[in-house]
Amino acid sequence: MSERPFAWERSYPPGISWDAPVRTSAIPDLFDKAVADFGPRRMIEYRGVDLTYEAMRKMVDKATAGFLRGGIGRGLTLAVYLPNTPYHPIAFFGGLKAGARLVMLSPLDAERELAYKLKDSGARTLVTTDLGHMLPMATKLLDAGHLDRVIVGEDAAWGAPPIPVAPIPDSPNVIRWPDYVRGSQIPADWPTVAPSDIAVLQYTGGTTGLPKGAILTHANLTAATSIYETWFNGQNLSKAGEDRVVCVLPLFHIYALTTILLRQIKSGNEILLRLKFDVETTLCDIEQLRATVFLGVPTMWIALANTPGIERRDLSSLRYCGSGGAPLPVETARRFANQTGHRLLGGWGMTETSPAGTNLPAVGPDKPGSIGLPMPGFEMGVVALDEPTRELSQGETGELRVKGPNVTSGYWNRPEETKAAFADGYFLTGDIGYMDEDGYFFIVDRKKDMILSGGFNVYPQVVEQAIYEHPAVAEALVIGVPDEYRGEAAKAFVALREGADPFTLDELRGFLADKVGKHEMPQQLEIRDALPRSAVGKLIKTSLREDERRKAASDAGAS
* Residues 52-193, CATH architecture: 3-Layer(aba) Sandwich (3.40)
* pLDDT above 70 (res 196): yes
Q: Where are the beta strands (DSSP E) in 392-465?
A: 398-403, 422-423, 426-435, 441-446, 451-453, 456-458
pLDDT for res 207 = 38
Q: Report the distance separating Cα 243 and Cα 246, nearest Å.
A: 10
pLDDT for res 557 = 66
Q: How large a percentage of the chain has pLDDT more than 90?
A: 79
Q: Report the distance separating Cα 6 and Cα 361, nearest Å.
A: 16
CA distances from 195 to 30, 119, 156, 217, 467 (A): 11, 26, 36, 7, 46
At the top level of CATH, which class does the domain 450-558 belong to?
Answer: alpha beta
> 219 or 5: which carries more pLDDT confidence?
219
For 171, residues 6+ apart whose C-beta sits below 8 A from its C-beta are 139, 142
Could you read off the pLDDT of 452-511 as tens digits, one per residue? Answer: 786 676 878 889 999 999 999 999 999 999 887 777 889 999 999 999 999 999 999 999
Give the predicted TM-score (pTM) of the model. 0.85
- Tell me where in the chain the CATH 3.30.300.30 domain(s) lie: 450-558
How is domain 8-23+214-446 classified at the CATH fold level? Rossmann fold (3.40.50)
- Tell me where in the chain the CATH 3.40.50.980 domain(s) lie: 52-193
- Residue 490: what are its φ and ψ, rounded to 5°? -85, 135
Q: Model confidence at 86, in pLDDT bands (50, 70, 90)?
A: very high
pLDDT for res 211 = 85
pLDDT for res 458 = 82
CA–centroid distance for 55 within its chain: 28
pLDDT for res 327 = 76
Contact of 361 with 13, CB cutoff 8 Å: yes
For 514, residues 6+ apart whose C-beta sits below 8 A from its C-beta are none
Could you read off the pLDDT of 242-258 as tens digits, one per residue? Answer: 999 999 999 999 999 99
pLDDT for res 10 = 95
Q: What amino acid occupies position 294? A: F
Q: For the chain, give the mean pLDDT.
A: 93
* pLDDT above 90 (res 1): no
Report, as an integer, the average pLDDT of 126-131: 98
Contact of 148 with 177, CB cutoff 8 Å: no
In 3D space, the residue among 399, 382, 401, 538 whose CA is nearest the CA of residue 457 turns out to be: 399
Q: Model confidence at 205, in pLDDT bands (50, 70, 90)?
A: low
> 37 or 299: which carries more pLDDT confidence?
37
pLDDT for res 206 = 43
pLDDT for res 483 = 82
pLDDT for res 109 = 83
